[in-house]
Amino acid sequence: MAKQLQAIRGMNDILPEQTPTWRYLEDKVRALLTAYCYREIRTPTVESSAVFSRGIGAGTDIVEKEMYTFQDRNGDSLSLRPEATAGCVRAGIEHGLLFNQVQRLWTMGPMFRHERPQKGRYRQFHQVSVEAFGMKGPDIDAELILLTARLWKELGLASHVTLELNTLGTLEARQKYRTDLVAYLSRFEAELDEDSRRRLTINPLRILDSKDENTRKIVADAPVLQDYLDEESKEHFDGLCQRLQDAGINYKVNPRLVRGLDYYSRTVFEWVTDSLGAQGTVCAGGRYDALVELLGGKATPAVGFAMGLERLVLMLESLDLVPAPVSQSVDVALVSMGAGEKLMPLVEQIRDSWPELRMLVDCSGGGFKGQMKRADRSGAHYALIIGHDELDAGVITVKSLRDDTPQSQVAVAELVDYLKTRIQE
Ligand code: ATP
Ligand code: MG
């Protein structure tokens, strides 16, 4: 027998029982972003690999180890997007949306990273990615954080997440810091864990959030980025902190928060939860003033974040915060005997006069008894029965499936009014 086909490891099917939770979350996010006047952009799932290697940084975990990269039939190197920002910036430059303009954009969809699958970490996962271009002051950083805080409140998650905040300063300040950090860490090179040793030359800042105990001890005495900050970055950060305090948002400044991507400067933040085990970050972002220029556009200030939907769905489920799903129940089940080709036009006529009616039509062509059984199992309130007699007389038999109201025959033209008085809209 042929081997059973299966989904790719780490790439999940989202089954019909789960989609109402997803829709609930997505609808909330969409409504909120619309209220803050962010506009949706949709970019391709596949981009030239250079969009990511140049944008995210060749020395980052994502590009170095996690990206799905392949050659297409023309021999071009393409990658499945591991995140959405680089593609969004690519599109913004290509279509002239960024230069000298203010843009608030968002997108939602699947991302791909070849990581070790575990709870909250998958190879295909979904993000909402939000980007704001053309604004350099801390107001917009604050707006993005306040927007997410409002979302947690609306979802009932506010008491389960905390905000961590840091500033990375300008790229120049970071460069200088990087040199000193590497000098310091090189003295302990032999004692560092293997990953950190490798990062020493390609991405030394990532060593700061190493999970290795010995490395952490060494890092504890390393120079701190905060001592290298330029005046303007300091002011920007203080401005953001002040705005958050005034808005009543609690946060913790975490000097070790560096984020995995090269393109950040100044503000970085993460919303973390302890209700998901190890995969605790549900939303992460920051300022990336250098990215637009790096990808070939004119220098444009930018700030954004990405939210992991799987982790939020897991939280909503485990905290039992999913409201009873918007009813997907069946209002009426239609069974028929011998109506032949007359059935579907009649059904459509009913739908024309009440498009929202949830009418399940039995198309299985089985016997009457079986159809009635299925109608009952569907949970419908009424069965609509169409047979020879009904067709001849221009009526439909309406039979209650939930109580012993006697069945009645209703003229097709009057059916919708008849049903409306009985079924709550
Ligand atoms: P982590 O440290 O958990 O690997 P990251 O820094 O790589 O996260 P980002 O690139 O900032 O994550 O992505 C933003 C958000 O997307 C994360 O906070 C998380 O909620 C979600 N996310 C990232 N990678 C995955 C994944 N493999 N599976 C599910 N969600 C993910
Ligand atoms: Mg990661």
| Closest ligand 1 atom to Cα of 259 | 6
Q: Which residue among 62, 127, 151, 254 has the greatest number of ligand 1 atoms within 8 angstroms of its CB, and so is best to mutate?
A: 127
Closest residue CA from atom 26 of ligand 1: 121
Q: Which residue among 68, 81, 83, 125 has the greatest number of ligand 1 atoms within 8 angstroms of its CB, and so is best to mutate?
A: 125
Structure tokens at 329: 């129940």
Share of the chain above pLDDT 70, in %: 98
Residue with tokens 């970490």: 121
Give backbone dihedrals phi and psi of 10, rounded to 5 degrees, phi first: 85, 0
Determine the distance separating the centroid of ligand 1 and the alpha carbon of 258, expressed in angstroms: 14
Closest residue CA from atom 16 of ligand 1: 308
Instruction: Pinpoint the alpha helices (H) of 99-158.
Output: 138-155
Confidence check: pLDDT of 260 > 80: no
Q: Which ligand is nearest to the CA of 260?
A: 1
First to last CA, the chain: 50
pLDDT in tens, 58-94: 778 888 889 999 999 999 999 999 999 999 999 999 9
Q: Rounded to an integer, what distance in angstroms lies between the CA atom of residue 165 and that of residue 271?
A: 9
Residue 156: per-residue pLDDT: 97
pTM score, two decimals?
0.90
Residue 1: per-residue pLDDT: 72
Does ligand 1 lie within 6 Å of residue 260's CB atom?
yes
Closest residue CA from atom 10 of ligand 1: 83
Strands 162-167, 252-253: pairing is parallel
| Closest ligand 1 atom to Cα of 306 | 14
pLDDT in tens, 178-187: 999 999 999 9
Residue 236: per-residue pLDDT: 96
Domains of the chain: 19-170+230-318 (3.30.930.10), 332-416 (3.40.50.800)
Q: Which residue among 12, 107, 125, 281 has the greatest number of ligand 1 atoms within 8 angstroms of its CB, and so is best to mutate?
A: 281
Q: Which ligand is nearest to the CA of 279?
A: 1
| Closest ligand 1 atom to Cα of 82 | 10
| Closest ligand 1 atom to Cα of 83 | 10
Residue 213: per-residue pLDDT: 92
Closest residue CA from atom 22 of ligand 1: 308
Q: Rounded to an integer, what distance in angstroms lies between the CA atom of residue 77 and that of residue 70?
A: 6
Residue 278: per-residue pLDDT: 80
120 with 276: CB under 8 angstroms?
yes
pLDDT in tens, 336-379: 999 989 999 999 999 999 999 999 999 998 899 999 999 999 99
Crossing angle, helix 138-155 and helix 19-35, to 10 degrees?
Answer: 140
Residue with tokens 């790229």: 171
Does ligand 1 lie within 6 Å of residue 114's CB atom?
no
Does ligand 1 lie within 6 Å of residue 286's CB atom?
no
Q: Rounded to an integer, what distance in angstroms lies between the CA atom of residue 46 and that of residue 42?
A: 12
Q: Of 331, 330, 334, 313, give the one whose Cα is nearest residue 322.
A: 313
Q: Which ligand is nearest to the CA of 270?
A: 1
Determine the distance separating the centroid of ligand 2 and the alpha carbon of 395, expressed in angstroms: 62
Q: Which ligand is nearest to the CA of 284?
A: 1
Does ligand 1 lie within 6 Å of residue 30's CB atom?
no
Does ligand 1 lie within 6 Å of residue 122's CB atom?
yes
Closest residue CA from atom 25 of ligand 1: 121
Q: What is the mean pLDDT of residues 2-20?
A: 94
Residue 327: per-residue pLDDT: 58
Q: Of 268, 310, 304, give the one whose Cα is nearest residue 113.
A: 310
